[in-house]
Structure 1
């Protein structure tokens, strides 16, 4: 029950106080698990890329950290070819820094920050780490190439449809989101605006909740 109660609170927070450029919704077939998308900000090699992630919550969440991986291929020293993310806040002490007060919003925001500020001294991909530290221009070039190949839509219409699909899926869980495309000199920018929508979700599961 603690997991369900905490998950409900996490989703409500994501609805009422959404981090900029981040959206998250419950998995269609596994309501305990989540899917998320991160739109990275300007002035990074991931700019305009939309990166999808999978968030799997263990039974002891929030006393154990969620397992999170990128579904969208990303060129980054702290994420490997399977999408795994190597960060202290995703590991239990004493080796990690996970604590129950962390929530899904905080974690996704931290991953977004990690995208903008990689940690080359604690990498999963040693070759990319070396490139980041000693050949920054090559790193930026390769990162941009990967982002354009894997994380960008080919045109504005397909990008709009992809995000509308994500928002439609989100609206069937706990909140709805509205996609707004703004003009851009090079590509298109996407800003997420969320509106909390009162819905009853799996009444049997949420009927009795308790705070962690």
Structure 2
């Protein structure tokens, strides 16, 4: 099974396992080495601090020419992530480049948790809340983190 995977995917997978990025855990699924189970820990001093967010990452057949497909499985209150867990991030769309790696993508998603961007929203209602009353929106994000993404 592993022999069918391109060398690049094998190398990236090996690096993710041997040198995990801080606050991120990613491992290939047992039954499909193109499918990764990812956990991103909410960055310190963000509304998501203390949370542990599950994501799935899938490498399409034409990876690295095409971007990985990534979505949140854990419910999150964020202007750039919709209720289906889809993520609005330029490198997952038009800014993708084969020079980028799974690691880069995960670090960018982690950075998005630290810096929500309501000016490029995927979840319109959350972005509007963020712009109208950022303090209240951040409080909601913290509450959701506690309810849906806490370790307990």
Q: Distance in 2 between matches of 1:8 and 1:44?
A: 33
Q: Is the 8 A contact 1:3 1:62 kept in 2?
A: no
Could you say what the CA RMSD is over the residues aligned between the two structures, in angstroms?
A: 1.5
Q: Deviations over 1:83-112 (max 9, x none)?
A: 000111001xxxx10000100111000000
Is the CA contact (8 Å cut-off) linking 2:48 and 2:145 kept in structure 1? yes
Q: For 1:110, what is the secondary structure of its paired residue?
A: helix
**CA–CA distance in 2 between the matches of 1:28 and 1:78?**
30
Q: State the structure with more CA Rg.
A: 1
- Structure 1 unaligned regions, length at least 5: 155-212
Instruction: Tell me the CA shift for residue 3 of structure 1.
Output: 5.4
TM-score (norm 1): 0.67
Aligned with residue 101 of structure 1, among 99, 102, 108: 99
CA contact (8 A) 2:16 2:27 kept: no
Q: Distance in 2 between matches of 1:71 and 1:140?
A: 20
User: Which position in structure 1 is the counterpart of 2:150?
Assistant: 152
Distance 1:81 1:40 in 2: 18
Aligned to 1:19: 21
Counterparts of 1:70-85 in structure 2, within 5 Å, are 70-85=72-87
Corresponding position of 2:118: 120
Distance 1:66 1:130 in 2: 28
- Are the aligned partners of 1:3 and 1:61 in contact in 2 as well (CA < 8 Å)? no
TM-score (norm 2): 0.93
- For residues 101-145 of structure 1, the C-alpha deviation after alignment (integer angstroms, 9 at most, x for no partner) is 100111000000001101111111111111112201111111011
Q: Which runs of 4+ in 1 moved over 3 A?
A: none
Out of 4, 27, 30, the position equivalent to 1:28 is 30
Q: Aligned partners of 1:8, 1:125: CA distance in 2, in Å? A: 35
Write out aligned runs for 1:1-212 (5 A).
Answer: 4-91=6-93, 96-154=94-152
Between the two proteins, the alignment pairs up a number of residues equal to: 150
User: Structure 2 CA distance, aligned partners of 1:3 and 1:131?
Assistant: 44
Give ranges in structure 2 of 5+ residues lacking alignment.
Answer: none
